Structure 1
């Protein structure tokens, strides 16, 4: 994506099902679990580069010994910093006495991060800042082992205000109003309730406190705790947690918006946000990696019992399509196929834009993440070229010469490496004009690859704001002197804000929204803007379940092609010679390519939860009132 936007976080969990000594004997290392955690976090660094954290819990330690370890970092290379600190601990042991690295009992008593369960997190800070205090995992501490809670997640809730009020109503005093703190305290409250109910039960039966603690650790109902905690949550989430005595869980939202995958065998249970991460880290085939069922929690008890339990009633599955288009790793088998199909599915619009003139068209991609959709686009264009070849051969008659046939068979679509991203230039110059000039040189170009009679076609994953296109890419491409520049988006027009984890919260940031507003003004339909505002305002204080997305009316006045044409005009920089055309994927093309990921609210406004409609209307109110604020 040429527009830089922040997005989902990544989670990773490793639960060792055997004693530490087992891994030392079989794999020759006491850091087997940590090594796997490091690999899974590194393979998900695309999901979060603002910070990282890891927590580890040891089982069955004596009172007075530390059993929860946690490191977090917001450094430039947070994963490297965290595991560097952890590795230093083991290096010190090795330097002291190499034999101690084989002594599981000694390591567990004396070295941090030698526990049975670890939880890792990679953070993309959407709007809360990037201080280390905002890095997961979060820790809720208590002297009762079974009341300790560690939480990390990939999530965003739309109804934080409502949930905050619920916490206050049950007597809590949260330290801040954020979805992370709210989630932590809600789970923590019902964890306390579960502890108290079991304590009262066994106290009445005459058990002493030590005996009761053991009973709680064995009988604590994680499913019940999560059912009560998640009852009012509205949003997308993959929520992972560990309890101090050793129980662990990963909970997924009822619509399956945010991804979560797991693998288990007799040695480990592991969870990650992306499937190929698990395949790579544990060298296992794709069919052994499963999705956590929407609305369910994968619960791993301290005794090793593993179960999938319903927490919320599953809704229609609307897994995020943006995950497939851009954010997830393209090494996933299905995502690779889907991205190629996205490129193929945009060929009809592209061919129309270049008037089917493949001979005088050059094809490329920007940025590198669009490479797979580029392959798909070129396969689709090869099909078109084959039709042209077949027609030309038929036109030759019954006895064409070898030379005539060779000339036709030699026809190829012209593929070039047009743009190369240079090292990131520092924009330390404060004057806007100077900074813009630096931005315009982020990419270097391959001179001589395009002729003045050519169409230059580049494909991008998606176009959100279009800022980079206008300020940089189009100006750079124009230096090649093509007659026309066509920018192809493998995603449809992004029209509506996200509220489930991607940092796209303000309507006026979207070039599609800007285009629709301009069209309304040009066509004397500004009253519609006022009408939509009035409708949104009228519903502002209604329960989220009763709110309708009125922002759709802004777009309904025009076709997608009309909006694309206006986008092309708005993004064309001054003083460039080439004609500019922006071509977008259709909604039908998206659904055809990603049939199992129907979460398309960015493009259609069809939000899977009531909170989405509330957020989009609020975003329009803020736009109309000139308030540069987030709607959630």
Structure 2
């Protein structure tokens, strides 16, 4: 993506089902879990560069000894920083008492982070302060083991105000207005209620031994019931992992399956992550054996090791995020790789039409680096066109083809080149606003001497175009210097028209070049009344319950075809003084669904939100834009 945006976080969970001595004997280290957690987090590093955190819980620790360990970091390489901190202590033991590193019992009793339940998190902050206090995992502490809670997640709730009000009604007083706090305290409240209910029940049954009752509570806690009550009024996209102090654990996924969650379990361990390839790589697990947590379900691992997937909320129509497939997740997932290639292939008819099928005088490239896989698919599609063209020319001739003509036909092939090259070092130098515009223009470098001046068309593929800022300030200026007669900018994603409210940092209407294009077309055509009408409807809907709101902002786009908006986007992003003709092509919604049939969450493009809170957010975002408020439309 040429315009960088922040997005959802990453989760890594491991539950070791055997004693640490088992892993010492089989794998040569009692730190098997920690080593694997590090791998899982590094293999999902694409999901968070704002910070990271790790927490572990030791099972069956005697009273008075620490059993919860946590460390968080906001260092530039947060994951490495965390594990350097953790492993430094083990390195000291290795140096002074190497025999103790082979004593799993001693390690568990004396060293932090030697727990059987491990939770890691990679953070991408979507809004607000970026401080160590915002880094997961979060702790809710209590002297009762069963009332301790550790959570980390990839989530965003659209109805934080409502959730906070419910906490007030319960008599709580949360320390801040944030969805992480409300989620933690909501689960914590019903966890407390469950513990107290079981305590009272066992007392009524004549049990007077409080120590025995504590164990009975741990054995009998109904985690699915706790999650069902906690999530009753949640509106958002989420994958949330949690550990209770005594050892029960869960990974829950929202009813629409908006956010991703995968897991694998055998008799040695249970592992869950936000991305499937992380599990495959870290544990050498075949693709088909890694399962997806079903929407509205929670993977539950009891302290006794029992593993189940239980429903906590009625699943709705599955709307798994399509942006996951287009851009955010790693393309090393076999399914994602195939889908991204298909996105590129499906663009070929539009691309060939834009260059008048002139393969001989067209250079194909992409804007690094996440568009690379879709680019391979596009090239395959162009090659297929070339082969069909050659077949028609050779088989359907009535006269004999000359050697010269034959050579020309057989020589036809797409010209594939690496044109734009990102200068990473220069990117890190851009710090001061006063110098930003000048520096941004040089973020990308280019390969000279590949374009025939005023003859060639240049096709560049991007995986999505959000704001168009980098295209206008940098890329198109650089590409125009090469002298092409036409530059065709292609997005493997459809036009991004609406804000996200489920964990991706796209919350302001004015940031979308498609919105800017539609508004300018309305003004130019004398239909500013539509803009005012949408505003009035959005304002009038402010007091309505979320489930009764509709997306009024759709009316901004209804007067124009997709192509008309794309053409206006081309005008907006074209820098002054550009000599080449600029054309913009976007993926169609139909093709997106064809390529990603299991990920139909397309609200960014269609405005069809998977939860009622989405409509409330988009309307509020429009009101903020109209009133000049540069703030996101949800808390």
Q: What's the TM-score bracket when you normalise by the shorter of the two chains?
A: over 0.9
Residue 431 of structure 1: how far off its partner (Å): 6.8
Contact in 1 for aligned 2:256/2:320 (Cα 8 Å): yes
Contact in 2 for aligned 1:319/1:598 (Cα 8 Å): yes
User: Secondary structure of the residue that 2:600 maps to in structure 1?
Assistant: coil
User: Secondary structure of the residue that 2:72 maps to in structure 1?
Assistant: strand
Residue 631 of structure 1: how far off its partner (Å): 0.3
* 1:347-426 correspondence to structure 2 within 5 Å: 347-394=348-395, 396-397=397-398, 399-425=400-426, 426=428
User: Secondary structure of the residue that 1:424 maps to in structure 2?
Assistant: helix
Superposed CA deviations along residues 185-232 of structure 1, whole A, max 9, x for unmatched, are 000000100110011111222322111111111111111110110000
TM-score by length of 2: 0.98
Partner of 2:211: 210
Residue 401 of structure 1: how far off its partner (Å): 4.5
Residue 406 of structure 1: how far off its partner (Å): 3.0
Partner of 2:340: 339
Find the aligned partners of 1:177 and 1:137 in 2 and give their Cα distance: 17
Contact in 1 for aligned 2:155/2:236 (Cα 8 Å): yes
Find the aligned partners of 2:523 and 2:505 in 1 and give their Cα distance: 28
Partner of 1:151: 151
Residue 331 of structure 1: how far off its partner (Å): 0.5
Is 1:78 matched with 2:41? no
User: Secondary structure of the residue that 2:153 maps to in structure 1?
Assistant: strand
Find the aligned partners of 2:20 and 2:540 in 1 and give their Cα distance: 61
Partner of 1:589: 591
Partner of 2:582: 580
Superposed CA deviations along residues 453-492 of structure 1, whole A, max 9, x for unmatched, are 0111100000000000000110111111111111100000
Superposed CA deviations along residues 162-181 of structure 1, whole A, max 9, x for unmatched, are 00000000000000110000
> Where do 5+ consecutive residues of structure 2 fail to align?
none
Find the aligned partners of 1:289 and 1:252 in 2 and give their Cα distance: 16
* 1:67-216 correspondence to structure 2 within 5 Å: 67-204=67-204, 205-216=206-217
Aligned CA distance change for structure 1 residues 499 and 430 (closer, same or farther; 3 Å): closer
Count of aligned residue pairs for this structure pair? 631
Residue 366 of structure 1: how far off its partner (Å): 0.4
Aligned CA distance change for structure 1 residues 505 and 429 (closer, same or farther; 3 Å): closer
Find the aligned partners of 1:354 and 1:276 in 2 and give their Cα distance: 38
Residue 123 of structure 1: how far off its partner (Å): 0.2
Q: Which moved more, 1:435-444 or 1:518-527?
A: 435-444
Residue 30 of structure 1: how far off its partner (Å): 1.3
Partner of 1:3: 3
Residue 437 of structure 1: how far off its partner (Å): 2.0
Find the aligned partners of 1:263 and 1:380 in 2 and give their Cα distance: 36
* 1:475-486 correspondence to structure 2 within 5 Å: 475-486=477-488
Residue 543 of structure 1: how far off its partner (Å): 0.3
Partner of 2:307: 306
Superposed CA deviations along residues 563-605 of structure 1, whole A, max 9, x for unmatched, are 0000000000001211111110001110110011000000000
Residue 287 of structure 1: how far off its partner (Å): 1.1
Contact in 1 for aligned 2:430/2:440 (Cα 8 Å): no
Residue 429 of structure 1: how far off its partner (Å): 7.3
Find the aligned partners of 1:491 and 1:2 in 2 and give their Cα distance: 13
User: Secondary structure of the residue that 1:409 maps to in structure 2?
Assistant: helix
Partner of 1:255: 256
User: Secondary structure of the residue that 1:631 maps to in structure 2?
Assistant: coil
User: Secondary structure of the residue that 1:529 maps to in structure 2?
Assistant: helix
User: Secondary structure of the residue that 1:441 maps to in structure 2?
Assistant: coil
Q: Which moved more, 1:383-392 or 1:599-608?
A: 383-392
Partner of 1:290: 291
Partner of 1:437: 438
Contact in 2 for aligned 1:427/1:435 (Cα 8 Å): no
User: Secondary structure of the residue that 2:119 maps to in structure 1?
Assistant: strand
Root-mean-square deviation (CA), in Å? 1.1
Find the aligned partners of 2:166 and 2:354 in 1 and give their Cα distance: 54
* 1:428-467 correspondence to structure 2 within 5 Å: 430=432, 432=434, 434-452=435-453, 453-467=455-469
Partner of 2:27: 27
Partner of 2:220: 219
Find the aligned partners of 1:424 and 1:104 in 2 and give their Cα distance: 45
User: Secondary structure of the residue that 1:565 maps to in structure 2?
Assistant: helix
Find the aligned partners of 1:470 and 1:404 in 2 and give their Cα distance: 42
Partner of 1:321: 322
Superposed CA deviations along residues 425-463 of structure 1, whole A, max 9, x for unmatched, are 25567574x432211111111100111201111000000
Residue 49 of structure 1: how far off its partner (Å): 0.7
Which one of 554, 558, 567 corresponds to residue 556 of structure 1?
Answer: 558
> Where do 5+ consecutive residues of structure 1 fail to align?
none
Partner of 1:610: 612
